[in-house]
Amino acid sequence: MAAGDRGAAAEYFGGQRVAERLEEALNALFPRRPADLYGELANYLSKYSKTPVICKLVGRKVLDGVGQPTLEVEIYCTVKNCEKRICSTVMSSHSQIPENALPETIEAYEKERNDFVNTAVEWVNEALNTVLRDLEPTDQCQVDKMLGEYFTNKVEEKEKNQKQEEEAEATVSPTPRTLSPASPPAKKKGKSGKKSVAEKPIPPAEPAEPVLCGSLAIGGASLAIAKAGATVSHIPLYLHVALLKHDQELPEEITLPLPMVTLLNCEKISPSKLKLVKEVMLIPPVQLSLKQGIERILGIQKEMTRLMESSGKMSGPQLADGKKGKAQNSGKKGLPQFVKRISHLGCLTTGYDDLEQLLLVMQTACNKRGLELGTDMYLAINCAAHELMDYDKGKYEILTGTFKTPDEMVPMYAELIDKFPFIIALIDPLRKEDREQWSNICCALGSKCYLIAEDAATCISKLKIDHSINTPLCSGVVLKYINQTKVSDLIELSGILDGQRRITILGSPDGESSDDSLVDLAVGLGARFIKLGGLSRGERVTKYNRLLAIEEELAKNRTLREAKLEFITFAEESQPEIQLSDVLPPPQED
């Protein structure tokens, strides 16, 4: 080395305090005499290295758990002067196509979905690469702020293009279009000799918010960078999210969300008559560990399968009479004829003629395992009421040919919960538009079970209005990580729900992927429940496995807090008050 270079080198290394820090490292390591001296030396000096920054995002089209195209986002960072792949995430897809959709409707949706994913891949590989380059992956607020601004610009760009197209169309054909008169409503059939009673009109269905083509890129980039932030900080994602939510103050203890495990997916199409129930979910008692609860649910699932497979040979088991909460059978109706398939939700798919028939099968399966509903296991029912409304009649079709007005649904649910108190949660018991009835059902049943809005919370961007949640009055909300949802959005919304003493439920979309980040999000946000589907299909089981791993880790670190079930009493002024429930006695031993 030339003399001039030596001087420059001394100045360069002196400015970086290299000699001083090497001496510190050698003095610190000598007493320990590590077997891998140079490895330990590298670890010691790494704390002086620069914070990793994002250098590249890679987007690609992959398939989700139901074979639909979706987006994968990979994050590369500059770490110790080298480009390094940090992590990736795969977005889940949410379909709003009904079960009985026409083939052409499904085909159009699949084409649109494909276009959406291709655009999202383009956004990630081009614009977002530039927008997010050189940001620190640990700075989630700044990342999400820039993602939000980019998305807003895209929305404004689309609106501008639509306006120009409309103006161009008006210039080509200036003749105003006339609206054809609305056809009169069909006359309702009624019994002869009886006057029809005028019924209160129902609020019309709110139009579905359009999804911007490419919006998957926003959610995918935000979640992938959150995972990268956790990775470079050498902590699990759930701790990273908890730190983000609590302003970098780590909670002393963490409570795991209780799983709502889907056991049955009930078809609402012929020949099944029961339409009121879409999903039946099992909730284990809080006194059990998650591992014990999952094992108990697996046992009930096996009994359900056996019952359904042998249903053609039996007329239905008899259950004890006279006890509240016991389904009874007169012998006229047997069990469903067979299990048709495993649903995309990872559970058994079948159909029923009425609700008591369904509860009879559940009760029988539990009894065969020596368990009792209401003590050893609880039920949650997803009613998906928005799928039941007959808009010509203005009523919900709860059974084939049996209709009820929104006002009539409230006492029906009150009777149901009074008769079967082991049902501790109803999801979407009404449409989101029936806000008056939501308030009524909350006042009537809020202290007995959770009344949860899921369909009303599908679009995260419409939920927050002036530091409040834009949903009907309810016990809690199911949040789903889809489309343009950002990690910061979930943190903000869960904080608002906490402040309003309502519960947060993290929900798995229909088209789930093998990415298990949703579980870490639920734990980090402090969600009360997590709704992942059933205990079949790899993309769903991998999430339960992740939840079990987190439980084991927290128990080992002695930072696991036991969950509680707290129902909410709604006052007449619709201000919720927390009430500890006494409906959960200690479980019986298996």
Catalytic residues: 483
Q: Which residues pair with 61 in a beta bridge?
A: 71
On whether the CB atoms of residues 286 and 564 are closer than 8 A, the answer is yes
> How many Å apart are CA 485 and CA 34, to the nearest integer?
47
Cβ atoms within 10 A of the Cβ of 328, count? 14
Q: Are 547 and 529 in contact (CB under 8 A)?
A: no
Pair 553, 235: CB distance under 8 Å: no
User: Which residue has 């992740």 as its token pair?
Assistant: 546
Q: Which helix (H) or strand (E) holds 506?
A: strand 503-507
Rounded distance between C-alpha atoms, residue 325 and residue 448, angstroms = 14
Among candidate residues 198, 257, 182, 205, the one with its CA nearest the CA of residue 96:
205
CA pair distance 417, 425, nearest whole angstrom: 9
Three-state DSSP class for residue 461: helix
- The helix/strand/coil state of 330 is coil
Listed residue (530, 518, 528) closest to 65, CA to CA: 518
**Cα–chain center distance at 21:** 48
Task: For residue 434, give Cα distances in angstroms to 204, 457, 480, 567.
Answer: 9, 14, 22, 22
Q: Report the alpha-carbon distance of residue 352 to residue 540 in Å, rounded.
A: 25
Per-position b or e across 3-37, b if 16+ CB within 10 A of its CB: eeeeeeeeeeeeeeeeeeeeeebeeeeeeeeeeee
Cis peptide before 271 (omega within 30 of 0): yes
DSSP 562: P
Residue 299 contacts by C-beta under 8 Å, 6 or more apart in sequence?
A: 369
Residues near 200 by beta carbon (within 8 Å), at least 6 away in sequence: 405, 407
DSSP annotation of 316 reads: -
CA distance 405 to 188: 14
Residues 6+ apart with CB under 8 A from 532: 259, 260, 261, 262, 508, 518, 519, 540, 543, 544
With CA atoms as reference, report the closest residue to 215 among 307, 314, 91: 91
Residues 88, 90: Cα–Cα separation, whole Å: 7
DSSP notation for 178-235: PPPPPPPPPPPP--TT-PPPP-PPPPPPPPPPPPPTTTHHHHHHHHHHHHHHHHHTTS
**DSSP category for residue 310:** T
